Amino acid sequence: MMDPIESITPYKDSSLAMLLEAQRRDAEIHYFQQGDLKLLDGKAIGRSRRLNVRDDNEDWYEFGAVDSIDLGDLDVILMRKDPPFDMEYVYTTYILDRAEAAGALVVNRPQALRDINEKAYTAWFPECTPLTLITRSMDEMRAFLAENGRIVVKPLDGMGGKSIFVVQHGDKNANVIFETLTDFGQRYAMAQIHIPEISLGDKRILLIDGEAVPFALARIPPADDNRGNLVVGAKGVGQELSDVDRTICERVGPVLKEHGVIFAGIDVIGDYMTEVNVTSPTGIRELDTQFDLNIAGQLFDAIESELA
């Protein structure tokens, strides 16, 4: 279950890495987009297209037969739909709930996708995170900025660096930024104190079944941007986990596993976790290339263990 496969960038797409690994294991792959799923008489049903994939940047997929199948008859459903996390996403997880109830293993668990907002869930681990405010109030955001001098503000439902602002006390654009993010006080948004170590990279750490991959992908912002996101030009540099990284993972990983999150990515800047990504974490292919890993293989080992 993913976004249009024709629109991905193959050499760095984590979903394709998973598909390639599934195919290496002789899995029968069925491809769905949101519009292919439905509930009928309480049963989750999908319009399936059989899929074959190749590790080829010019020609990476081929569709086969089209069928209508009961989603509960599938062994595993990989839910890889990107945010925004809107009501259509929530409705999709309801359908996947019914597939799970009928016997399919959904990765990640639909209830966890609803419960673990990728920005707000940092509040469950305040000892691991920078000082954070989630509010609708523009006055509270202004006070937070005045008290802390430099902050990062972002929406709760975005991805890929969209609508993330670094705001300095005295910035005359601050009011319009707060107005835009909160829709004049009608929507919740997040503010965090600015962490200067962003210049060294926003580290993406992948966790499989609660355990950290031993290397992180530090996404170093370009000279003309504050954001450590690959899609806006950040450079991905692999590095070993630090002692603090491991401590954060040891705190967060078991909680995610308990909630049915088999594959997650946490973001760490300096010594602080800033986000918990459970919808469609990326970084597999970059880390595989730099450290000769097979992260998708580790993931499928965990999935097969769940199925045993």
Which active-site residues does the annotation give?
Answer: 119, 154, 204, 219, 227, 267, 275, 277
CB neighbour list of residue 3: distance below 8 Å, 6 or more residues apart: 33, 80, 81, 82
Burial per residue of 91-111, b for 16 or more beta-carbon CB atoms within 10 angstroms, e otherwise: ebbebbbbbbeeebbbbbbbe
Angle at alpha carbon of residue 110, lines to 104 and 113, rounded to 5°: 145
Q: Determine phi and psi for 307, rounding to 5 degrees.
A: -80, -20
CB atoms within 10 A of CB 251: 14
The rounded distance, in Å, linking the Cα atoms of 112 and 91 is 14
Q: Hey, CA dihedral for 206, 208, 212, 214, is it positive or negative? A: negative
* C-alpha closest to that of 267 among 248, 286, 284: 248
The token duo for 62 is 């081929």
| DSSP conformational letter for 163 | T
CA atoms within 13 A on the CB side of 96: 27
Per DSSP, helices labelled H in 192-242 are none
Q: Hey, CA dihedral for 62, 68, 74, 80, is it positive or negative? A: positive
Q: How far is CA 125 from CA 155, 255, 279, 300, in A?
A: 19, 10, 19, 28
